Amino acid sequence: MSQKNRYPFDFYLALAANLFFFAGFQWTFATLPAYLQEIGGGAADIGLAFGLLSLSAVASRPAVGWLADHWGRKPVLLLGAVIVCLVPALYALTRSLWLFQAERVLHGLGMAAFTTAYTTLIGDLAPPERRGEAMGLSGVTNNVGMLVAPVLGVSTAAAWGYAAHFWISAAITVLSPLLLLFVTEPERRSKSIPIRQESLRAVARLRPVWVASLGVTGLAVSFGAVLSFLAPFAAEHDLTAAGVYFSAMALAMIVAQSGAGWLSDRVGRRAVTIPGLALTVVAVAGLAMVRSDAALVLLGIAFGTAWGLSRAGMDTSVVEAVPARQRGKAVSVFFTSFDIGVGVGSFGLGIIAQEGGYGAAFYAAALWSILALGSYTLWSVESRPE
């Protein structure tokens, strides 16, 4: 392999920082709904908690995308990582439902800053010929922690209580900013960019950006429904594998996303994205009908595979849609659409779950995924490396 096609050491540091960032976040995946119920919340409150995080991220994405292009990727990464370290500590001190919801807004700001700058930095560091592979690997580290973090999170909450559980989440996450201190951005990316450049609106109107942003909402709405309602749905039907579901989903994400990124460099981004979005429909609709732990775990594998295929293709197509000086804006538009989708899947479908049950919410998510699949299939075009 030629020297120019090798990944720099900063690429691996960024992957490691991302791993600990998400492991700390995923520690609470399977416990937050039960915690909210313990402090007096219902199904709508559960949906609101996840929805507020997403809506906060939506509101802050344009600003953090602009900052990532003008201020630099590393400062925005550090800001997001520090915020997300602090929030679980605040959770540990909270017994008020409304104060907890306010802290979710802060959590969303940290998530938006970190994830936007991280994806942009990976796009900068990746050799163009291996960008699909790099984007796939960058997503793999999102999910390595999910193999064990949700299960261990449930166990620690049961054994030591929620306060200790949240402090452990904060301790895991703090490793992320410590690693980021040693990351050096490519010099041509870290300097201030001249003011004369495309606006956020102009970037959003680029076809590869808006088509991928619309397509990813199919995955996001389903993900929001899973995050918010899987655990209470499983409890309602005497299923005990909610934690294992997330572990199975994570393992499938890791396998699918690492392979799909490499494959998309060879057969194209559409060829991996379209099957992924189709599988999303099956995976989320199946949850409404599942009545055994074995079937629940299989659906976790299906959803993880769908995620890996879809994100490897769409993330790369967005990064390739613009030159590096506009990359933060393009990523912020894409992630804003994802955040809106998660918010709809959490809060919007929470209203449906309140009235018609959790199964109705999963069917509604599947219907939206069908519409997103059709839109992406009809309007997407193949991206090309910069």
pLDDT the model gives residue 193: 43
Return d(Cα 369, Cα 96) in angstroms, integer: 35
Q: What is the mean pLDDT of residues 19-35?
A: 89
C-alpha distances (whole Å) from 377 to each of 2, 273, 277, 356, 372 are 36, 9, 10, 31, 9
Closest CA to 20 of 174, 180, 152, 167: 174
- pLDDT for residue 277 is more than 50: yes
- Sequence-distant (6+) residues with CB within 8 A of 277 are 215, 218, 219, 306, 310, 369, 372, 373, 376
- pLDDT for residue 383 is more than 80: no
Residue 385's pLDDT band, with cuts at 50, 70 and 90, is low
Q: Tell me the average pLDDT of the chain.
A: 90
Tokens representing 87? Answer: 């929030």
Look at 98-112, 116-130, 254-268, 337-351 and tell me which has the smallest mean pLDDT: 337-351
Return d(Cα 90, Cα 166) in angstroms, integer: 8
pLDDT the model gives residue 38: 87
Residue 21 placed within a domain: yes
Q: What is the mean pLDDT of residues 198-217?
A: 92
pLDDT the model gives residue 164: 94
pLDDT the model gives residue 231: 87
Residue 321 placed within a domain: yes
User: Which residue segment(s) compose the domain that 306 sits in?
Assistant: 10-182+199-379
Q: Is there a contact between 229 and 137 (Cβ–Cβ < 8 Å)? A: no
pLDDT the model gives residue 196: 46
Residue 192 placed within a domain: no
Residue 25's pLDDT band, with cuts at 50, 70 and 90, is very high
Backbone phi, then psi, for 30, in 5-degree steps?
Answer: -90, 0
Displacement of CA 193 from its chain's centroid (Å): 28
Q: Is there a contact between 82 and 70 (Cβ–Cβ < 8 Å)? A: no
Residue 188 placed within a domain: no
pLDDT tens, residue by residue, 158-204: 999 999 999 999 999 999 999 999 999 886 444 444 444 578 889 99
C-alpha distances (whole Å) from 273 to each of 82, 176, 217, 277, 307 are 33, 30, 13, 6, 9
Q: Is there a contact between 296 and 289 (Cβ–Cβ < 8 Å)? A: no
Residue 193 placed within a domain: no
Report helix, strand or coil for 176: helix
Q: CATH number, domain at 276? A: 1.20.1250.20
Return d(Cα 352, Cα 342) in angstroms, integer: 15
pLDDT tens, residue by residue, 291-348: 999 999 999 999 999 999 999 999 999 999 888 888 999 999 999 999 888 878 877 8
Q: What is the mean pLDDT of residues 78-105?
A: 92
Number of domains comprising the chain: 1
Return d(Cα 174, Cα 85) in angstroms, integer: 5
Place of tokens 């429904």: 225
pLDDT tens, residue by residue, 58-78: 899 999 999 999 889 999 999
- pLDDT for residue 2 is more than 60: no
pLDDT the model gives residue 5: 75
Residue 155 placed within a domain: yes
pLDDT tens, residue by residue, 241-259: 988 898 898 889 999 998 9
Q: Is there a contact between 153 and 31 (Cβ–Cβ < 8 Å)? A: yes
Return d(Cα 220, Cα 227) in angstroms, integer: 10
Q: Is there a contact between 208 and 358 (Cβ–Cβ < 8 Å)? A: no
- pLDDT for residue 39 is more than 90: no
Residue 4 placed within a domain: no
Residue 385 placed within a domain: no
